[in-house]
């Protein structure tokens, strides 16, 4: 199934879950954003980060403590 077809199903359903209304123009924006962001989001989800510890509250003014 093409991403645009998936979006046709996903977007109205997801908005409905949250009870969020959107007019036609907003829906067009949401579809465009989804088509741009969703493929890289899927790649991100597929990325193997198993060996990477999550830095909790990282001090972003400093390098990471362990290298």
Partner 1 sequence: MSTGLDLSLREQAAAIAAGEVDPAELLEATLGRIEERNPTLNAVVETFPERSREMLAAAPRGPLYGVPIVIKDEWPLPWRAQRFGAAEMLAAAEPGESGPYRALRDAGAVVVGVGNMHELGASSTGNISVYGPAHNPWNPERCPGGSSSGPAASVAGRLVAGAVGADGVGSIRYPAAYCGLTGLKPTFGRSAMDGHHMAAVSTTIVSGALCADAGDCRLLDSVLFGEELAAGEPQGMRIGVIGGDVSDDVAPAVREACEGAIEDLRQQTGGEVREIELPELAAATLATVLIANSESLGGITPRQLNQLDPELSPLGRGLLKYRVLVPAIATIKAGRVRTMARQALARIFEEVDVLACPTVPAVAPPLEAPVVELPSGWLTADEANVRGGALANLTGIPAISVPVGSSEGLPVGLQLQAAWGRDELLLDAAEAIERANGRRWVEATPPALGAEPLEA
- 9 is an interface residue for partner 1 by CB under 8 A: no
Contact (CB, 8 A) for 35 and 8: no
Site for partner 1 in 27-56 (CB under 8 A): 27-30, 32-34, 36-37, 40-41, 43-45, 47, 49, 52-55
Q: Is 16 in the site for partner 1 (CB under 8 A)?
A: no
Q: Which two tokens stand for residue 58?
A: 């990282």
Q: How far is CA 40 from CA 28, 31, 47, 62, in A?
A: 20, 15, 10, 28
Of 2 and 48, nearer to partner 1 (C-beta) is 48
5 binds partner 1 (CB under 8 A): no
């Amino acid at each position: 199934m093409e991403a645009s077809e998936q979006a046709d199903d996903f977007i109205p359903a997801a908005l409905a879950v949250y009870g969020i209304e959107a007019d036609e123009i907003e829906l067009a924006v949401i579809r465009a954003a989804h088509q741009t962001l969703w493929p890289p989001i899927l790649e991100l989800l597929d990325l193997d980060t198993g060996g990477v510890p999550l830095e909790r509250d990282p001090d972003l003014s400093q390098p990471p403590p362990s290298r």
